[in-house]
Amino acid sequence: MQKEPTKRELRQLASQLRCPRGQMGLDIAYVMNSSNISMIVEGIAALSLSPNNTILELGHGNCKHLPKLLEIHESLNYFGLEISRLMVEESQKTNATYVQQERAVFQWYDGVHIPYPDQQFDKILTVNTIYFWQDPVAFLRELYRVLKPGGKTVVVFAVKEFLYDLSFPKYGFTMYHRADFKKLIGQTHFKILRIKRKKEFIKKPTREVYSAYLSGHHTHKKPVCRMLQKNSESKTRTSV
């Protein structure tokens, strides 16, 4: 019979998901990327990438999905920001060819201040990071600041109703209902273009999550994908 994870193990897992570190961080990042791949692919599709777009992704993990994004158009440019130095190093190694070709740049930052000037990016993507934003409204405003007028941001996350049933998010995740997220957006200049709700099957992150991260059962997950747009007239950036 499978042993239940202890509180200590669940806390450790939650902490690794927030910021992967060490050998365990590499293992978690590997499983995280494969178990979240359909959320990531959904997010990439929602970006509606055009040739020559410059894309920013926040919290890319090990970024094994980069070919799925950069192969859409050969003129795309990608910038990744992470709070985990391990994930920056791992992503650079995994995507060494794109880095050499100067199509991808990976950088560490503090998770608060985006180290780029205003209006740099056509598209912004972030998947499964909202739970860790220290000040969500301020962070969304940072995203808005670096987005070009008319640009799009896609935020993908699992909703509170789903996460609530799991054992690890209570250890430091901030969970959002869709209404909570709308409230956040209402405090920014973003306009919601589309909200997509999707059910899917992924590796089981319920009570067996700790071992499932290593063994891989399946269960329901309810990710939500929000697409946000920056108004093209910067003076009249209205909220939702």
**Residue ranges in 69-98 that form contacts with ligand SAM under rule CB under 6 A:** 81-84, 87
- Contact status: 129 vs ligand SAM (CB under 6 A): yes
Helix pair 37-46, 22-35: axis angle to 10 deg: 60
- Residue 103's CB is within 10 A of a number of other CB atoms, namely 16
Pick 5 or 236: Cβ nearer ligand SAM: 5
> Closest approach of Cβ 133 to ligand SAM, in Å?
5
* Burial zone of 197 (CB within 10 Å; 0-12 exposed, 13-18 middle, 19+ buried): exposed
Instruction: For residues 42 and 20, give the distance between their C-alpha atoms in angstroms, rounded to a whole number.
Output: 23
Instruction: Identify which of 174, 172, 171, 166 has the alpha carbon closest to the alpha carbon of residue 208.
Output: 166
Coil vs helix vs strand at 72? coil
Name the residue nearer to ligand SAM (CB basis): 95 or 150. 95
Give the interface segment with ligand SAM, choosing from 32-40, 159-167, 168-176, 204-212 (CB under 6 A): 32-40
Q: How far is the CB of 190 from ligand SAM (least distance, A)?
A: 17
**Residue in 10, 13, 14, 36 binding ligand SAM, rule: CB under 6 A:** 36
Q: Is the CB of 75 or the CB of 164 nearer to ligand SAM?
A: 164
User: How many separate helices (H) and strands (E) can be counted in the chain?
Assistant: 10, 9
18: contact with ligand SAM by CB under 6 A: yes
Binding site for ligand SAM (CB under 6 A): 17-20, 32-33, 36, 39-40, 58-61, 81-84, 87, 111, 127-129, 132-133
